[in-house]
Amino acid sequence: MDMDDLKDRGLVLLGCGKMGSAMLEGWLAGALEPHHVWVRDPKPSDWLQGLDGLHLNQSLPDAPAMVLVAVKPQMMDDALPELRALGNGKTVFLSVAAGTAIAKYEALLGDATPVIRAMPNTPAAVGRGITALVANAKGAPSLPLAEKLLQAVGQTVRLDSEDQMDAVTAVSGSGPAYVFHMIECLAQAGEAQGLDAELALALAKATVGGAGHLAENSPKDPGQLRVDVTSPNGTTEAGLKVLMADLPDLVKRTVAAAADRSRELKG
């Protein structure tokens, strides 16, 4: 299966909320056109309704090349059974639903179903996402196509085992929300020091965005970058003494809570 096969047979999005829309927006920027895509969503956004050529809540192809499952895990039992007829080995199921194991798909769709489980994140909307993938034996041959599709919205990594997915979910899947909250907190702290709210937010957003870009592209590890910008007895050192007293443990507990919830959702 290749990209031409995907275009010929169709891509189905089961659910198109924030994550599904973020990914679809990236794909439509280059890899696909609206008429290649079928979307099943009970409450489609105005943006979806405005995409000329998109098959929105229409009858599905008999054997689409791929079904992207982007519904909430709690809705899985209701959403998948209607697609059981597609669990015949011809259609690949690519799941981005947090906490939903490959075994769940095999139980609902049949053991012959090729399943690829993926965990993207919301920066996919601006082409800066990162997606981790793992597949069952029947889905493994389609991993290159899944990677090519997902690389339209950012980087991809393959996991050694599905057991790693809960940690990935907690770090990169949920991680953007942690960073957004850091921006909020940094801006609020700037306001507390007398800055105008708009200025404080602009400084916080640019600082976090710029530092992230530098960390991603520098040959130095983040620890060395931190040392490089920290002058002895300077302002950065004074701030870091406060931050580093609590942040490492706080982040460990944050990621652990998210990973534990991912594991709970599999039950």
188-229: per-residue pLDDT in tens? 999 999 999 999 999 999 999 999 999 999 999 999 999 999
Of 160, 187, 217, at which residue does a domain stop?
160
The average pLDDT across 88-97 equals 89
Of 102, 134, 160, at which residue does a domain stop?
160
State which residues form the domain around 226.
175-265
Q: Is the pLDDT of residue 267 over 70?
A: no
Please write the tens of the pLDDT for every residue from 231-260: 999 999 999 999 999 999 999 999 999 999
Position 24 scores a pLDDT of 87
> Same domain for 128 and 191?
no
Confidence of residue 88 (pLDDT cuts 50, 70, 90): confident
User: Which residues belong to the annotated binding site for NADP(+)?
Assistant: 14-19, 70-73
Q: Which of 168, 129, 174, 123 is nearest to 150 (CA)?
A: 129
Q: Which of 105, 92, 106 is nearest to 12 (CA)?
A: 92
Confidence of residue 102 (pLDDT cuts 50, 70, 90): very high
Q: Where are the beta strands (DSSP E) in the chain?
A: 11-14, 37-40, 55-56, 66-69, 92-95, 115-119, 129-135, 154-158
Please write the tens of the pLDDT for every residue from 20-35: 887 888 788 877 899 9
User: Which residues belong to the annotated binding site?
Assistant: 14-19, 57, 70-73
> Same domain for 204 and 95?
no
Output the furthest CA–CA distance in the chain (Å, rounded). 68
CATH code assigned at 244: 1.10.3730.10
* 132 φ, ψ (degrees, to nearest 5): -100, 140
The average pLDDT across 166-170 equals 94
> Same domain for 226 and 142?
no
167 domain residue, yes or no: no
CATH code assigned at 137: 3.40.50.720
> Same domain for 24 and 114?
yes
CA distance 142 to 101: 18
**Number of structural domains found in the chain:** 2
Of 126, 160, 194, at which residue does a domain stop?
160
User: Which residues belong to the annotated binding site for NADPH?
Assistant: 57
Q: Which residue carries 């979307």 as its tokens? A: 39
Cβ-based burial of 131 (10 A; exposed 0-12, middle 13-18, buried ≥19): buried
